[in-house]
A and B are shown apart, each in its own frame.
Chain A
Amino acid sequence: MNENPMLPYLGKLVEVRDLAADIKLFRVEMLNDGGEAFRTFQPGQFAFVSAFGLGEAPFGIANASGRGSAVDFAVARIGSVTTGLHELGEGDIVGVRGPLGNWFPMKKFKGKNLIVLGGGIGGAPLRPVIQHVLDHRSDYGTLTILWAARHPSLLVFTDEYAEWRAAPDTDLHLTVDSPDEKWDHNVGLITQLLEKMSPSPENTVTITCGPPIMIHFVTKMLQEKMGFAPKNNYVTLEARMHCGMGKCGRCNLGEKLVCVDGPVFNMEEVGGLLETFL
């Protein structure tokens, strides 16, 4: 690592493409020392991406380690850094600082059924989980993906649904709040879809990422209506951190820091905190 942990590695954008309305996928090939730093990373970890001149912001890494040498980020155009990133194209240089944070305990999940619940751009940090399971398919039980967005145009990774659906013991269920005329899947909130499916908690863990309000109601339903133990409901939380290394103080949830104690927590841990993420 650099003496100055705030100094990013440089990476070259080798692919930039639209994922959804105002959401782009950035595929970064790390340069120099960054290649070694990002040789392996874990599903659920995050990194800071710099649009030089505008700043940096944290993003969940959106691909599984081992699928090529590049690092993927899905970025929604929200503020100045993300707008700056959206203006970049292939061949442009970005900064990447990481990999940071803890990860989903994929080893512990071996032999279990997995339910992955993603809402909007919240699907980005879950894609490495899905890819990891597909790449080690026999290690896990069934994989059920509930994928939601406000509108069909906001669904991410649509071009990969065929791959996910084709994998053994893997199901994908889509839902949107407001459909367009071409939509032929579920309509409604992800909780309505979840209630309809009513999965059994037996030998099953859930992994959820999305807006805080979605995480709240999804995990509440899993526990109260389906009987899941909170420790089997994993979530990845968001905070507008500025260092990612437990220094800047901005991401505390009570006595925990999302950047170093998280971003992955199970709901038993979250429930034990003084402060709520909501």
Chain B
Amino acid sequence: MSKSNSARKRWLISQAELEIWLDGLAQARTLIAPRQVSGIMLYRPVAKSNEIAWHGQTPRSAHAGRPVLSVKEIFFPPTERLFTIQKTGQEIRLEETFPDWETVVFGVRPCDARGVKLLDALFLDTNPVDSFYARRRGNTTLIGLACQELGPTCFCTSVGGAPDNAHDMDIMLYETDGSYLAEAVTEKGRFLIPVCEWKETTASPQQSTYSGQFPVPEKGKWPEHFNDEYWLKISERCLSCRACAYVCPTCRCFAVRDEMLAPGQFERIRCWDACAGENYRRVAGGHQPRAEKGERLRNRFFCKFFYYPEQYGLGAASACTGCGRCIEVCPAGVDITEVLMDLEKQA
């Protein structure tokens, strides 16, 4: 458990001190940070702090400081090997490799850290534990960076988050006039802080003044909207392209299949999948229980606000972090905030 806000230790550090520290972390561990890759910002390994996209303005991302994909991919990669298969005549040999390297992620935004917490409910807290996710999660320290402002599609404050929410981080950094206030949120985070070198402070971070933007329908209200015509109407725009799920910090559906590596050698992989896909729910005889686009789009929204919270014990919380990425990438203008506001109006 993280300590309460007031009990947390804090240090005031300069940009130079931060960079020296990150360079040191990158030597002993894999340091992953926002980085420019082919014109977009992604969380990628960096060898030195000067590779980090500090404020990352990019033409392809409407949000100044938030990578195009969430940190989800660090714990639950788009494609992951589950084991390899060696076939020699009738003999079969299966071999596993687990991710065992220590990783530090820098520049995590509060919405993304919240996304990881939501995935924990499924992969860690519900049996059986997912061994791949669990190893990555256990070996990774999250260093957060509070958002200075909300981006044009951000709505974290409407779904229980805040641009400066340190709750799901190990270490949180707040920018203050060219320097940083560093806060140890967990023991794991504190372990990485060079306490002898940094100057401890009693200063508190300035609290974000952003408040809730719009009311989101409560979990209990969702079932009554299940048969609304609305889903068919809104889905007329949807292309079933599944980009929304790809960028979502909490979409976690996957498919499992075998791929050939060489003659007689295969790997079993899992890769991201999404419920908007046409064949996603099709069964062996060809029956397709979610044949309509509207039924599939409805499933996505119900999963975020009703199914997932029900299935994995989130209480009143939703499985949406308000990062706004799905709004940014949708080529057809399906806007989750519009959907939430429309539902609230109908209630």
Residues of A in contact with B (beta carbons under 8 Å apart): 1, 3-8, 10, 50, 52-57, 76, 78-79, 82, 91-93, 95, 211-213, 238-240, 242-243, 245-250, 252, 254-255, 257, 274-278
Contacts and interface: CB of A to CB of B under 8 A. Distances in A.
Interface in B42-85: 82-83, 85
Contacts of B126: 246-247
B46 to A, nearest CB: 30
Contacts of B128: 1, 5, 245
B24 interface: no
A55 B91 contact: no
Contact of A52 (B132, B266, B284, B287): B266
A4 B253 contact: no
Contacts of B260: 53
Given A247-B123, A255-B306, A276-B289, A7 B256 contact: no
Given A7-B83, A53-B87, A212-B289, A249 B275 contact: yes
Interface string B287-315: 10100000000010011001100110000
B253 A239 contact: no
- Report whether over half of chain B's contact residues are helix, strand or loop; otherwise say mixed: mixed
A2 to B, nearest CB: 8
Given A240-B284, A249-B254, 11 more contacts: A6-B82, A10-B94, A91-B90, A211-B285, A239-B281, A240-B283, A247-B123, A247-B254, A252-B311, A255-B311, A276-B289
A250 B128 CA distance: 17
Nearest to B134: A3
B252 interface: yes
Nearest to B284: A78
A248 B257 CA distance: 13
A92 B90 CA distance: 6
Given A91-B90, A246-B311, A247-B122, A55 B256 contact: yes
Contacts of B87: 52-53
Contacts of B266: 52-53
Given A53-B87, A242-B255, A257-B311, A10 B92 contact: yes
Contacts of B23: none
Given A52-B266, A246-B311, A250-B273, A238 B283 contact: yes
A239 B281 CA distance: 7
A13 B281 CA distance: 30
Contact of B223 (A1, A274, A276): A274
A274 B83 CA distance: 37
Given A91-B90, A248-B253, A250-B280, A4 B123 contact: no
B307 A248 contact: no
Interface in B89-120: 90-92, 94, 96, 98
A210 to B, nearest CB: 9
A172 B73 CA distance: 54
Given A4-B96, A249-B275, A252-B299, A242 B83 contact: no
Contacts of B303: 249, 252
Contacts of A275: 226, 289, 299
A37 B227 CA distance: 43
Contacts of A212: 283, 287, 289
| Residue of B85, B255, B260, B289 with most chain A CB atoms under a 10 A cut-off | B289
Interface of A is mostly: loop
A3 B258 contact: no
A69 B140 CA distance: 44
Contacts of A238: 283-284
Q: Which are the 10 A-B pairs with shortest beta-carbon distances?
A: A249-B253, A5-B128, A93-B92, A242-B256, A255-B310, A53-B266, A55-B258, A4-B131, A6-B82, A55-B257
Nearest to A212: B287
A5 B284 CA distance: 24
Nearest to A57: B284
B258 A54 contact: yes
B342 interface: no
B270 A249 contact: no
Given A93-B91, A238-B284, A276-B289, A7 B96 contact: yes
Contacts of B299: 252, 275
Nearest to A9: B94
30 contacts: A4-B82, A4-B131, A5-B131, A6-B83, A6-B256, A10-B94, A53-B85, A53-B260, A55-B257, A56-B268, A93-B91, A95-B94, A212-B287, A213-B287, A238-B284, A239-B281, A242-B270, A243-B256, A247-B252, A248-B273, A249-B252, A249-B253, A249-B303, A250-B253, A252-B303, A254-B226, A255-B306, A255-B310, A276-B289, A278-B289
B338 interface: no
B130 interface: yes
B95 to A, nearest CB: 10
Contact of B302 (A246, A247, A257, A274): A274
Contacts of A255: 306-307, 310-311
B281 A4 contact: no
A218 B126 CA distance: 35
A53 B258 contact: yes
Given A7-B96, A255-B310, A76 B284 contact: yes
A248 B311 contact: no
B29 interface: no
Contacts of B85: 52-53
B3 interface: no
Contact of B281 (A245, A248, A250): A250
Nearest to A4: B131
Interface in B111-167: 122-123, 126, 128, 130-132
A73 to B, nearest CB: 13
B82 A7 contact: yes
